[in-house]
Chain A
Amino acid sequence: MAIFIGEHTRLVVQGITGRDGSFHARQMRDYGTRLVAGVTPGKGGQTFDADVPIFNTVVDAVEEAGANTSVIYVPASFAADAILESADSGIELIVCITEGIPVADMMRVMPYIEERGCRLVGPNCPGLIVPGICKVGILPGQIVLPGRVGIVSRSGTLTYEVIFQLTSAGIGQSTSIGIGGDPIIGTDFVDCLRAFEADSETDGVVIIGEIGGTDEQTAARFVSENMTKPVVGFIAGQTAPPGRRMGHAGAIISGSEGTAEEKTRAFRENGIAVAERPADIVDALQAVV
């Protein structure tokens, strides 16, 4: 079953003729994702790799190719509108990989998304992967292993590291999802935890947080109040200095809020087993799942 994507996914790639878009379109198709269309305005009527139709607009991709999921690789200055276009075209799941979208643009995007009832993952995220079935985004396919642990993370390569360590220890994953490192994102920790709790193919969850904001604290309360499945957590940024933005636009300690210490404490107080190192996640999982 997995969460948010799977065999039902019919994908359209926004920005399919760009450098990143074309590279990852091939990677996703080769992994088994049903890639039904691409969109690049002005290139409608052409094909991508001879068999994927390119449309000028997302609505054409929905009506003519039956797309229900989009993934966005367009530059930051156009990405917010690309999200709005997908939402306005009846796409159910929008995954935005693009990094560096202005905060004000995302603030205007969010109410629009909510009104249309679709799901946004990201922006500034690596996307999702269901091992052996489907991937949407940029997560590397070769490090995953089919299994029953869900992974949700604000990071990209740190997620790969954790997946890799789990896979190396023989622990497979049901779905891995990166929700993005920006201050304003669509799908949050709680959305993913709720979906994992409801997913019959997930037995336990790894949550990977980092400094900045209060999403981890909210997630911790959700775990203690609503989850029966075991959750293991890790927080990056114990050594981050206050007031500095640590790469991710959202990774900043403001005043005394958003520290790794505060988040780790919230995890512990709400029954989440905290791993001190990424490598400890494996042991913590083996103890509970």
Chain B
Amino acid sequence: MNIHEYQAREIFQAHGLPVPDSEVVDTPEGAADAARSLGGRVVIKAQVHAGGRGKAGGVKLAADPEEARDAAGLILGMEIKGLTVRKVLVAPTADIATEAYVGIVMDRVSQRPVMMVSPEGGVDIEEVAETNPEAIFKETIDPRYGLLNHQATRLAYRLFSDPSLARPAAGVLLGLWRAYRSADATLAEVNPLISTSSGEVLAIDAKMNIDDSALFRHPALEAMRDEDAEAPSERRAREAGLSYIKLEGSVGCCVNGAGLAMATMDLVKYYGGDPANFLDIGGSSNPEKVVCALEIMAGDPNVLSILFNIFGGITRCDDVANGIVEATSRLELRVPLTIRLTGTNEDEAVGILGVAGFEADTDMDRAVQRAVRAAGVQ
């Protein structure tokens, strides 16, 4: 789960990082008030789950409260990568001497967290990794011991040769690790970590992603979820325990299992169609989930054809069949439905569907071809 910059700033501050105080507001007037209370020049930053906010015009400087009001007025309501800006952060501007990058990511290859720093901060770190990889320094963290003092020191001196800057920077790295570990994060990043001309080290940006699987033990983080950042259909699916991602195509795909769901979408493409979504109904076969899945797909105006692809294992085909019959009796389906079922209780499922007037196929390729044709794609 992504959290917003203002939320990550709060967490970082709580772990002792030198993050300047800021305010988050949702009206231009609020931005003016915040600028007044912070005093001096401020920066107004869009709070959306998208990178490249600056390039998209979502970050503006303001010299006084009036300018802050105008800047917030321009940013609030703006769309950045399809997401509407509903909140802005108002923060004091800093007198930047140098900009560094510091971050922790979960590294799949070493199966450990890795801390990365670069004296070339303030830009996209992936870009630095491509153009100037020797400017990135890394320390692998042993999860049993955490980030060790000497590791933090080693990295801090990669960023600053002056001990009066390297010492506080090492403190930032240790604090970032504490924040990462205690929040069950999969990413924690400060970009940029700056030094000012008066010799301070400050974290003026904050980014954090939280491990979805760990949210059960972090109710305070779960409460940070921005439901407005999700498509309504995706939120509904999440609440029903379905894994759903909306795409732009016309063939709705409902599958049990993530791998088979991806393979089904790929097969739709192979036969000339475009998948309208990724939808995994999971291992258990609760008919209610099937009803919800069908309603979500039917509610997508782009969908011209719906395909069920079920390989029964733990999932019982008869449960899915019951869900389909139940859902189609509740809502009038405006698009054709193609059903492929095989595996556990397949015969019962075919019987249940037959009584309700549906045919079921057992072959995946044939069913996908039929669903693509039904969407009017040749």
A residues neighboring B (CB under 8 Å): 20, 76-77, 99-108, 110-111, 126, 138-140, 143, 153-161, 164, 181, 183-184, 208, 210-211, 213-215, 234, 236-241, 244-251, 255, 260, 276-279
Of the 9-residue stretches B71-79, B208-216, B322-330, which lies at the interface with chain A?
Answer: B208-216
User: B344 at interface (Cβ–Cβ under 8 A)?
Assistant: yes
CB pair B257–A107 under 8 Å, yes or no, is no
Q: Decide if B212 touches A157 in the complex (CB within 8 Å).
A: no
| Contacts A104-B143, A104-B211, A160-B343; A138 near B314 (Cβ below 8 A) | yes
Closest to A185 in B: B111
Write 24 A-B pairs (CB below 8 A) sorted by A numbering.
A76-B213, A99-B283, A107-B106, A110-B111, A138-B314, A140-B313, A154-B259, A156-B257, A157-B257, A164-B311, A164-B342, A164-B343, A210-B262, A213-B109, A214-B109, A236-B260, A236-B266, A241-B247, A246-B258, A247-B243, A247-B257, A247-B280, A251-B258, A276-B270
* A183 close to B106 (CB less than 8 A): yes
B260 near A155: Cβ-Cβ < 8 Å: yes
Contact with A along B224-265 (1 / 0, CB 8 A): 000000000000000000010101000000011111111101
- The CA-CA distance from A246 to B275 in the complex, in Å, is 14
Docked CA distance A213–B107 (Å):
9
Name A250's closest neighbour in chain B (CB-CB).
B108
Least Cβ–Cβ distance between B299 and chain A, in angstroms: 20
Known contacts A161-B260, A250-B108; is-contact A101 B278 (Cβ 8 Å): no
With A and B bound together, what is the CA distance between A104 and B255 in angstroms?
Answer: 29
Q: Is the CB of A214 within 8 A of B108?
A: yes
Q: Are A248 and B265 in contact (CB under 8 A)?
A: no
CB <8 Å contact, A241 and B265: no
CB of B267 within 8 A of CB of A241, answer: no
A155 and B259 contact, CB distance less than 8 A: yes
Say yes or no: A244-B245 contact (C-beta < 8 A), given A158-B260, A277-B270: yes
Q: How many A-B residue pairs have CB under 8 A?
A: 159
CB-based contact B275/A248 at 8 Å = no
Residues 122-165 of B, flagged 1 when their CB comes within 8 A of A and 0 if not, give 00001000000000000000111000000000000000000000
In the assembled complex, which residues on chain B have CB atoms less than 8 Å from the CB atom of A241? 245, 247
Q: Which residue of the partner chain A has the closest CB to B265? A: A239
Bound Cα distance from A104 to B312, whole angstroms = 32
- If the complex has contacts A157-B256, A157-B257, are A211 and B270 also in contact, measured as CB distance less than 8 A? no
Contact between B343 and A101, CB atoms less than 8 A apart: no
The answer, yes or no, to whether B22 is at the interface (CB within 8 Å) is: no
Beyond A102-B184, A246-B278, 10 additional contacts (C-beta under 8 Å) are A102-B217, A104-B214, A140-B313, A156-B260, A159-B259, A160-B260, A236-B263, A239-B268, A241-B245, A247-B278
Name, among B108, B211, B311, the residue most crowded by chain A CB atoms within 10 Å (CB to CB): B108
Closest to A114 in B: B111
Is B94 part of the contact surface with A, judged by Cβ < 8 Å? no
Contacts of A153 in B (CB 8 A): 259
Given contact pairs A102-B213, A157-B313, A240-B265, A278 touches B364 in the complex (Cβ within 8 A): yes
How far, in whole Å, are A107 and B265 apart by their CA atoms in the complex?
A: 32
Determine the distance from Cα of A172 to Cα of B313 in the docked complex, in whole angstroms: 19
Q: Which residues of B contact A255 (CB under 8 A)?
A: 126
- Please state if B143 and A111 are interface contacts (CB–CB under 8 Å): yes
- Taking a contact as CB atoms under 8 Å apart, the answer to whether A157 and B268 are in contact is no
Interface size on B, residues (CB 8 A): 52
Tell me if B262 and A251 are in contact (CB < 8 A).
yes
Cα distance A246–B279 when bound, in Å? 9
Complex alpha-carbon distance, A99 and B243, angstroms: 13
Which of A76, A100, A239, A247 contacts B266, CB < 8 Å?
A239
With contacts A104-B184, A157-B311, A255-B126 taken as known, whether A277 is within 8 angstroms of B365 at the C-beta atoms is yes
List residues of B whose CB falls within 8 A of some A CB: 106, 108-109, 111-113, 126, 142-144, 181, 184, 186, 211-214, 216-217, 243, 245, 247, 255-263, 265-270, 274-275, 278, 280, 283, 311-315, 342-344, 364-365
Contacts of B342 in A (CB 8 A): 164
User: Known contacts A111-B142, A247-B258; is A102 also within 8 Å of B266 by CB?
Assistant: no
Q: What residue in chain B is nearest A107 (Cβ atoms)?
A: B143
In the bound complex, residues from chain B placing their C-beta under 8 Å from that of A106 are: 111
* A153→B257 CA distance, assembly (Å): 13
Q: Are A108 and B144 in contact (CB under 8 A)?
A: yes
Do B311 and A160 have beta carbons less than 8 Å apart? Answer: yes
Contact of A181 among B259, B269, B270, B365 (CB under 8 A): B259
Chain B residues with CB under 8 Å of A138's CB are 313-314
Q: A100 contacts which chain B residues (CB < 8 A)?
A: 213
* Known contacts A161-B364, A246-B261: A277-B211 contact under CB 8 Å: no
Closest to B126 in A: A255
Q: How far is the CA of A240 from the CA of B106 in the complex (A)?
A: 21
Given A158-B257, A184-B108, A214-B109, answer yes or no on A103-B214 (Cβ-Cβ < 8 Å): yes
Task: Please state if B262 and A237 are interface contacts (CB–CB under 8 Å).
Answer: yes
* Beta-carbon nearest neighbor of B247 in chain A: A241
The complex places the Cα of A248 from the Cα of B243 at a distance, in Å, of 9
Q: Which residues of A contact B184 (CB under 8 A)?
A: 102-104
B230 smallest CB distance to A (angstroms): 12
Identify the 8 closest CB pairs spanning chains A and B, nearest first. A155-B259, A247-B258, A157-B257, A158-B259, A102-B214, A236-B262, A157-B260, A107-B143
Q: Which residues of A lie under 8 Å from residue B314 when comparing CB positions? A: 20, 138
* A246, B181: Cα distance in complex, Å: 25
Judge whether A102 and B258 touch: CB under 8 Å: no
What is the distance, in angstroms, from A75's C-beta to the closest C-beta of chain B? 10
